[in-house]
Structure 1
Amino acid sequence: MIDFHCHLDLYPDPQLAAEDADRARIYVLSVTTTPKAWRKTAELAKPYSRIRTALGLHPEIAHERIGELALFEVLAPETRYFGEIGLDGSAEYRAFQEIQAKVFDFILRTAAKAGGRIMTIHSRNAASAVLTSLRQHPDAGVPILHWFSGSPSELDAASRQGCWFSVGPAMLRSKKGRELAARMPRDRVLTETDGPFAKDKSRPLQPADAWVAVDELATIWGVSGEAAQAQLATNLRRLTVAIPENIAP
């Protein structure tokens, strides 16, 4: 099973969350929201062969953490995963769009300069702007749009542009989320949880809850749960060979 976007370092007990994910044999991409959080979070994952740590600067706090871009550049050679990165066009962050764009552009340039990275990208209310930025940096690597919530036409544009998508239980609870998932290219989809931010009622989702998304995708695709799991495993193998692991994982 795969949780390609969760925040291990933000659980109440990060060590326990990592141990539980490893015990359940989940392949986890642990994303960070600031460069300063990366090294400690990477240390947390070190004992576990199925956990990788992404270097991030979340768009919601880009205006507060823009001063960490120099550190981002220093750390970039140590991981082939970037995330959580991207843009957020929600009303409460509209005043910071220019700063967000500057930060995202810097990160994409850093990725291209490093030979490309696997990137998990936030695009809430900003899908078209994210796609424009990605077109401007074609060598940045492989973009995975996490919890995509744009329009069907934006999703189609992202698919034509070669984007991947990660979907989780929270996204697939809604009719819109399921309809968007049905339009995604099946060979470019992965599962996620976005825990602990995403919840099942009041309980933060754990990496093992990715199975809910697997079952939902099986229903959407009209296949068995085993076939859905096999497709997702094939997708993960294809993705991880796209950017050679010639650097620290």
Structure 2
Amino acid sequence: MIDLHAHIDLYPDPVATTKECVDRNLFVLSVTTTPSAWSGTAALAKDAARIRTALGLHPQIAQERQSELPLFEELLPCTRYVGEIGLDGGPELKGTWDVQRRVFDEILRMCSAAGGRVMTIHSRRAATQVLDSLAARSEAGAAILHWFSGTRRELQRAVDQGCWFSVGPAMLAGEKGRAMTAIMPPDRILTESDGPFAQINGRPLFPWDVEAAEKALAKIWSVSDEEARHRLLENLRRLTTHVAPEKSDGFSHDSKS
């Protein structure tokens, strides 16, 4: 199973959650919300062959953490994965919009200068602006739109720009989420939990809950659960060789789970 977007450091017991992921042989991309959280979060998975830690600066706290951009640039050579980054157009964040744009554009510049990264991107109520920024920095790497909630027109533009998508149980629990997923290219979809923020029936999702997303995708694609899992593993393999394949880190070399 694959969880391409989980906030492992923000679970009540990150050590136990990490151990459970290892015991279940999950592929996990552990995202961070600030550069200062990266080293400690990466240490949680230092002995986990199937867990990678992404370097992030979340748009919802860009105003408070913009001073960490130099640290972001310092740490960027340590990882091929970046996230959670992006833009949030929620009305409660209107006052931080200009800072968000500056931070996101600066991160994309850094990724471009570093030769590209695999990026997991937040685009709530800001899909067009995120896509504009990605179009201006196409060399920044592989863009994965996490929990995409834009319009169908924005989705088509994202597809045309070569974006990937990660979908989870919470997104697929709704009719709109399933309908949007049905028109995403199957070869550019991966699963996520977005735990512990995403919930089902009031319960925070854990990385192993992506099994529900696998089953939902199997129904959408009209294939068996086994075929859906095989397709997702193949997608992961292609994604992780998309950016700097000569520096492949083994994230998906063993794809038996």
TM-score by length of 1: 0.98
The answer (yes or no) to whether the contact 2:116–2:244 under 8 Å persists in 1 is no
Structure 1 position 244, deviation (Å): 2.7
The answer (yes or no) to whether the contact 1:169–1:212 under 8 Å persists in 2 is yes
1:53 alignment partner AA: T
Aligned to 1:156: 156
Aligned to 2:254: none
Structure 1 position 202, deviation (Å): 2.3
1:1-249 counterparts in 2 under 5 A? 1-244=1-244, 246=247
Aligned length: 249
Q: Distance in 1 between matches of 2:49 and 2:230?
A: 20
Structure 1 position 39, deviation (Å): 0.4
1:86 alignment partner AA: G
Structure 1 position 95, deviation (Å): 1.2
SS of alignment partner, residue 75 of structure 1: helix
Moved more, 108-117 or 194-203: 194-203
Structure 1 position 240, deviation (Å): 0.5
Q: Distance in 2 between matches of 1:23 and 1:208?
A: 11
1:97 alignment partner AA: W
Q: Distance in 2 between matches of 1:221 and 1:81?
A: 28
Structure 1 position 204, deviation (Å): 1.2
SS of alignment partner, residue 149 of structure 2: coil
State the identity %.
57
1:177 alignment partner AA: G
SS of alignment partner, residue 150 of structure 2: coil
The answer (yes or no) to whether the contact 2:122–2:146 under 8 Å persists in 1 is yes
The answer (yes or no) to whether the contact 1:79–1:247 under 8 Å persists in 2 is no
Q: Any unmatched runs of 5+ in structure 1?
A: none
Q: Distance in 1 between matches of 2:129 and 2:203?
A: 33
SS of alignment partner, residue 46 of structure 1: coil
1:228 alignment partner AA: A
The answer (yes or no) to whether the contact 1:3–1:207 under 8 Å persists in 2 is yes
Q: Distance in 2 between matches of 1:136 and 1:22?
A: 38
- 1:182-226: CA deviations, max 9, x gaps? 010000000000000011222211110000000000001111111
Q: Distance in 2 between matches of 1:181 and 1:4?
A: 16
The answer (yes or no) to whether the contact 1:77–1:247 under 8 Å persists in 2 is no
1:130 alignment partner AA: V
SS of alignment partner, residue 241 of structure 2: helix
Structure 1 position 247, deviation (Å): 8.3
TM-score by length of 2: 0.95
The answer (yes or no) to whether the contact 2:59–2:100 under 8 Å persists in 1 is yes
Q: Any unmatched runs of 5+ in structure 2?
A: 252-257
The answer (yes or no) to whether the contact 2:240–2:248 under 8 Å persists in 1 is no
Structure 1 position 146, deviation (Å): 0.1
2:75 alignment partner AA: L
SS of alignment partner, residue 148 of structure 1: coil
1:129 alignment partner AA: Q
Q: Distance in 1 between matches of 2:214 and 2:244?
A: 27
2:58 alignment partner AA: H
What is the RMSD computed on CA atoms of the aligned residues? Answer: 1.1
Runs of 4+ in 1 over 6 A off after TM superposition: none
The answer (yes or no) to whether the contact 1:112–1:140 under 8 Å persists in 2 is yes
Q: Distance in 1 between matches of 2:63 and 2:183?
A: 34
- 1:108-151: CA deviations, max 9, x gaps? 00000000000000000000000000001010000000000001
